[in-house]
Amino acid sequence: MAYPDEVLVEGEQVVIHKHPHWKMLVLPVLVLLLVVAAGSFLAALVSAQSWAPWVWLVLGVVGLALIIRFTVVPVVRWRTTHFVVTNRRVLVREGVFTRQGIDIPMSRINSVQFRHTLLERLVGSGTLVIESASDEPLEFEDVPGVERVHAMLYSEVADEVP
């Protein structure tokens, strides 16, 4: 899915557009499977009782609430978080109802670093650290293909230098 062109300035082109790494979705999927399994087990336990339909209703409501809170919300948060590198800036946007974002012009970037643990190396993600003219370096966690993003961003910053 391409990043919306209406947020780009004239002549600006998207170089990289990524969502956070899929590892953020492992726990929500496990919660979904656990809630479905536990709900099914409990529903089967009470199926022979005369009051079973009321328990099924309660199990359904509780299960649905748990799935919305611990599966749907993280998936929507993941889907609405964007890490974008253009030929002029780095953009990060996140949020559904209240959006927040940061833009870093290429000309203000002093250095680009990355780090990743052994597990992150195995799944292909990591943390991208961008030092700009601001006081603190900005860290972007769970960037998929962080080494490739680092190289591409470094290339864009090097092209920007006169």
Q: What percent of the chain has pLDDT over 90?
A: 56
Which amino acid, one-letter code, is at 53? P
**Which residues, 6 or more positions from 13, have their beta carbon under 8 angstroms from its beta carbon?**
86, 87
Rounded to an integer, what distance in angstroms lies between the CA atom of residue 31 and that of residue 68? 10
Q: Which one-letter DSSP state was computed for residue 117?
A: -
DSSP 52-115: HHHHHHHHHHHHHHHHIIIIIHHHHHHHT-EEEEESSEEEEEE-SSS-EEEEEEGGGEEEEEEE
Tens of pLDDT, residue by residue over 111-134, are 899 999 999 999 999 999 999 877
> pTM for the full model?
0.81
In what order do the strands lie in the sheet containing 109-115? Answer: 109-115, 125-132, 138-144
Tens of pLDDT, residue by residue over 52-86, are 889 999 999 999 999 999 999 999 999 999 999 98
Which amino acid, one-letter code, is at 89? R
Let me know if 10 is exposed, middle or buried by CB neighbors in 10 A (0-12, 13-18, 19+): exposed
